[in-house]
Structure 1
């Protein structure tokens, strides 16, 4: 699964680092996430339904389907399995028409420790550059008549590098595939595959990551050994 991410750069930095061609007007102001969790707002790149070009938006993590009666369903829909996005009712339309990208600096995963507990690891790219996760977004109108935009992160079976931590990992969209992922193509199914182990890195971090209340750059400091 993917339940915690790092997204601490500004929209302008992501535009420059990722080589994106998003207009720099009305860029959303999102607090830095060193330990970002579901329920919070994140920078998301989506195709504007009218202008048909990529734009930065502030979306809440945890997808609320357009016809949902209870927004609490978002807690159950923070992730979408790549293997079933085409067939699952709650994700099928979003996969067809509302694919998005979530720019991140890394994410976290936990390894079970004997005899109890879990040890968090930070995961990123060896070159320290940001990358993009595949997502799906939806619009939902709350009882007050306001539109709430939300998203889910797509996950896939883990590559060899991360398999010891968890059997699933977020779906990473390569630079060359970003435009295609954001296109109107009905089913870019060949992109639904795990990122190569090459170029990825992971390191032990403090168990302070276990609480999303902790959110500072110090969480990224590597530990020499597991605590």
Structure 2
């Protein structure tokens, strides 16, 4: 799964990397402890070209009467995404790229204590996660929200957790966005062995109130 992220990527550099027009309300960077319900910069494909824009992390189905009307949907399972009523339309029509520096995952020790790990690309490049998004509105409140697609963990991460976010290579960005024909479903798989690296980090990141570059440092 994916429940926390870090993003040290400058917004202007990311806009250039994805050849996307940046919005004016992008969240600041760097951020070392991005939590669900916070704003995250993502890339979408629009009729006029790619757009780099802010969305709330936590997908809201159209039938929710408020942001807290049901479970917080931060992840969407690749195995059932095309069938779940909450996700199936977004899976077909509204896919996005979520560029980050890395994400956190937790394992457990023999006593059941949660041990945090930081996972990032082994080559130091931006990590681009597969996402789906949804406009939501009720009364006077309107939000654009997203979830990260997850799959069974591959050999590189299965010792930490049984799930991992779907990550996309540069040659797959256009296909996931729907710009390069069909076949996005084939991209919903674990990262090739060697693409991702992981190291243990301090338990301070277990709190969603802490922030700072020391959170991603190895221990």
1:178 aligns with one of 158, 173, 177: 173
Higher alpha-carbon deviation: 197-206 or 69-78: 69-78
Give the length in aligned residue pairs: 217
Q: Which residue does 1:12 correspond to in 2?
A: 12
- The secondary structure found in structure 2 opposite 1:190 is helix
Rounded to whole Å, the distance in 2 between the matches of 1:147 and 1:70 is: 10
Over 3 Å counting, the alpha-carbon distance change for 1:222 and 1:56 in structure 2 is same
Q: Which residue does 2:2 correspond to in 1?
A: 2
The TM-score, its normalising length taken from structure 2, stands at 0.93
Gaps of 5+ in 2: none
The structure where helix makes up a greater share of residues is 1
Q: Which residue does 2:35 correspond to in 1?
A: 37
- The secondary structure found in structure 1 opposite 2:87 is helix
Correspondences of 1:130-209 after superposition (within 5 Å): 130-144=126-140, 146-183=141-178, 185=181, 188-209=184-205
- Could you tell me whether the CA contact under 8 Å between 2:27 and 2:41 is conserved in 1? yes
Deviation at 1:151, TM superposition (A): 0.3
- Could you tell me whether the CA contact under 8 Å between 1:134 and 1:154 is conserved in 2? yes
Superposition RMSD in Å:
1.6
Over 3 Å counting, the alpha-carbon distance change for 1:105 and 1:80 in structure 2 is same
Rounded to whole Å, the distance in 1 between the matches of 2:66 and 2:137 is: 11
Gaps of 5+ in 1: none
Deviation at 1:198, TM superposition (A): 1.2
The TM-score, its normalising length taken from structure 1, stands at 0.90
Rounded to whole Å, the distance in 2 between the matches of 1:178 and 1:201 is: 21
Rounded to whole Å, the distance in 1 between the matches of 2:183 and 2:124 is: 31
Correspondences of 1:86-165 after superposition (within 5 Å): 86-144=82-140, 146-165=141-160
Rounded to whole Å, the distance in 1 between the matches of 2:142 and 2:111 is: 46
